[in-house]
Amino acid sequence: MKQHLLTKINAMKQRLLTMENIHIQGKSDEQWVDIIKGVDLYLNRGEVLGLIGESGAGKSTLGLAAMGFCRDGCVISEGSVHFDGKDLLALSREDIRQLRGNRIAYVAQSAAASFNPAHKLIDQFCEAPHLHNVMGRKESEAYARKLYKRINLPSPETFGLRYPHEVSGGQLQRAMTAMALSCRPDLIIFDEPTTALDVTTQIEVLAAIKDIVKEFNTAAIYISHDLAVVAQMADRIQVLLKGEEVEQAPTKLMLKAPKKAYTKSLWAVREHARIEQPAPKKTDTPVISIRQVTAGYTSQQDVLKNVSFDIHKKRTIAVVGESGSGKSTAARVVTGLLPPRQGSIVFDGAELPADYQKRSRDQLRQIQMIYQMADTALNPKLRIRDLIARPASMYLGLSGRALDERVRALLAMIELEPDQYIDRLPSELSGGQKQRIGIARAIAAEPSFIICDEVTSALDQLVAEEILKLLDRLQSELALSYMFITHDLATVRAIADRVVVMKDGAVVEQDGKSKLFKPPHHPYTELLLSSVPEMDAEWLDRLLIARTKKRAKKRGRKAKP
């Protein structure tokens, strides 16, 4: 009996955060809608909890509620939040302000939007310790430098003297993590901290976060839609769906044996893989041929350096690289938005005018584009009918009844019920549906070549999968060729026939998919491939150890002669 009580008391001491039966409501169209429908969440000291779900599942809302905070237009209607024995929902504004930033910290998805661009990094770092009377200015500056060094930021002594726009995105995200630690909090909430980053940068940030959380024994809630990432970070994973908990379990158990069907479907998400088409015959004319293109936005700097590759009929070429590698610029050259300085674009054996304004209507029709952000790619004031009908009426001269039928046929082709969607505005569609409209607009022109610019990177995995399947089906039905720009290698695996790897504006390697994914690799391809998180809780640790060893070896080799 006594033993039992003791363990209970010990457990109480360990427990940092308890949220019980949380209900959160949001106001939309003058009506209160449940966003979170009775979720329990607990967290022990030093534990990392992974929150997983699609967009709209309520992950961020729940994460913010752990700080006793709600976004504008939302309210915690039921439930309790206890942090270290205090009832956060009952505390006064002043008391809760003392906790936030001091004992509970928050790291947002976009560090660029979360830093004040007008102040130096170190000034923003020192603000919270000063405000909460944790440390003096000198002390916190020293602490900042120590943390900067700890998370491998370049020249940690002077790093803090820079402004947010003077450092890269990955560095800024790490600086934000350091800032969250400035008061040595008990709990940090990470809200998709690496989603906006490249795979290679993501690793650095993940390593920094993991390291720091372990060293300071900080508890954390790690919110993400990327399972592989969460698997690296979390001790325990909780899966959310539409504001309700699906299941929770320790990470290893969850990865090995998910119980619920929904979780299983999340795990199995990358099963779609296109069978690689045989390489085209040498004699075939490629649909699009990019020949020795050099291009840049200013006259001094070349963003593309002597880039050449071909895209054949019914084939998909994936162009892979980090942000800034020139893959989107290559697309701009092909479309004619950016006339190249040297080189040319050849369509079906005939050279295209470099400037899109000089291309004929038919040449414009043949090359269509699907954009990354469907939100900005569709005019928000036009109805779906008009959005899709415009290319059909412009290029193919359809009108009246025939046009209406064509629009309906296109909607059916992208698997949206025509009667239900034809008169909607883009704002009345979900992200995946918007992207489908973008696809319908592209195929309405009956092109032979489509550029897909990161079309799935803004979507949830399940939705992205559906979009990829759709594109694949349309390709075989309509004999399309795709140029698929992406930084996600899983997408490449799913859709490409041939892969072009780019770095700093030049083609590093290009080959058929199966060959490219097999060693030996070009060192840069190797780096890219090894940086893709795997569904294995120890992957990150193993990778980091391997990389340190490699670096040590290199240094050793250099030191010898």
Partner 1 sequence: MLYLQTFLGFCITIIASIIAAWLFRVLLVRLVGHSTAKFIRTAPLTASFGMLVICMYILCAIFAPLIAPYGEAEILGGGFEPWSSTHLLGTDNLGRDVFTRLIYGARNTVGIAFLITALAFFVGTLLGLYAALKGGIIDQITSRLVDVLMAIPSLIFSLLMLTIFGTSVLSLVIVIAAIDSTRVFRIARAVALTIVHLDYIEAAKLRGERTRYLITREILPNALAPLAAEFGLRFCFVFLMISALSFLGLGLQPPTADWGSMVRDNADLISFGDITPLIPAGAIALLTIAVNFVVDWFLHKASGLKD
Q: How far apart are the first and last CA of the chain?
A: 70
Q: Is 478 within 8 Å of 298 (Cβ atoms)? A: no
Residue 371 interacts with partner 1 (CB under 8 A)? yes
What is the chain's length? 561
Q: Which of 182, 335, 433, 456 binds partner 1 (CB under 8 A)?
A: 335
Q: Which of 376, 397, 519, 556 binds partner 1 (CB under 8 A)?
A: 376
Question: Closest separation between CB of residue 356 and partner 1, Å?
Answer: 6
Token code pair at residue 95: 């008391």
- 151 backbone dihedrals φ, ψ, rounded to 5°: -100, 25
Q: Which stretch binds partner 1 (CB under 8 A): 54-62, 200-208, 379-387, 407-415?
A: 379-387
Question: Closest separation between CB of residue 313 and partner 1, Å?
Answer: 22
Residue 394 interacts with partner 1 (CB under 8 A)? yes
What are the respective helix, strand and coil percentages of the chain, to the nearest 5? Answer: 45, 25, 35
Residue 155 interacts with partner 1 (CB under 8 A)? no
- 196 backbone dihedrals φ, ψ, rounded to 5°: -90, 5
Tell me how far apart the alpha carbons of residues 169 and 234 are, in angstroms, rounded to a whole number: 23
Residue 356 interacts with partner 1 (CB under 8 A)? yes
Residue 298 interacts with partner 1 (CB under 8 A)? no
Q: Which of 70, 279, 346, 373 binds partner 1 (CB under 8 A)?
A: 373
Binding to partner 1 (CB under 8 A) within 171-210 occurs at none
Q: Which of 382, 425, 462, 544 binds partner 1 (CB under 8 A)?
A: 382
CA distances from 479 to 162, 312, 316 (A): 52, 11, 11
Q: Name which of 494, 495, 491, 395 is nearest 441 in CA terms.
A: 395
Residue 309 interacts with partner 1 (CB under 8 A)? no
Q: CB-wise, 360 or 548, nearer to partner 1? A: 360
Question: Closest separation between CB of residue 68 and partner 1, Å?
Answer: 20
DSSP annotation string for 83-134 = ETTEETTTS-HHHHHHHBTTTEEEE-S-HHHHS-TTS-HHHHHHHHHHHTTS
Q: Which of 73, 85, 136, 250 binds partner 1 (CB under 8 A)?
A: 73
Question: Closest separation between CB of residue 251 and partner 1, Å?
Answer: 38
Binding to partner 1 (CB under 8 A) within 18-57 occurs at 27
Q: Which of 79, 326, 336, 533 binds partner 1 (CB under 8 A)?
A: 336
- Find tokens 């959310």 and name the residue: 240
Tell me how far apart the alpha carbons of residues 123 and 43 are, in angstroms, rounded to a whole number: 32
Question: Closest separation between CB of residue 96 and partner 1, Å?
Answer: 22
Q: Which of 180, 219, 398, 445 binds partner 1 (CB under 8 A)?
A: 445
Which helix or strand (DSSP H or E) is residue 310 part of? strand 304-311
Q: What angle do CA 148, 151, 152 make, to 5 degrees?
A: 85
Q: Which of 255, 303, 377, 440 binds partner 1 (CB under 8 A)?
A: 377
- Residues near partner 1, by CB under 8 A: 27, 72-73, 335-337, 356, 359, 361, 364, 367, 369, 371, 373, 376-382, 390-391, 394, 441, 445
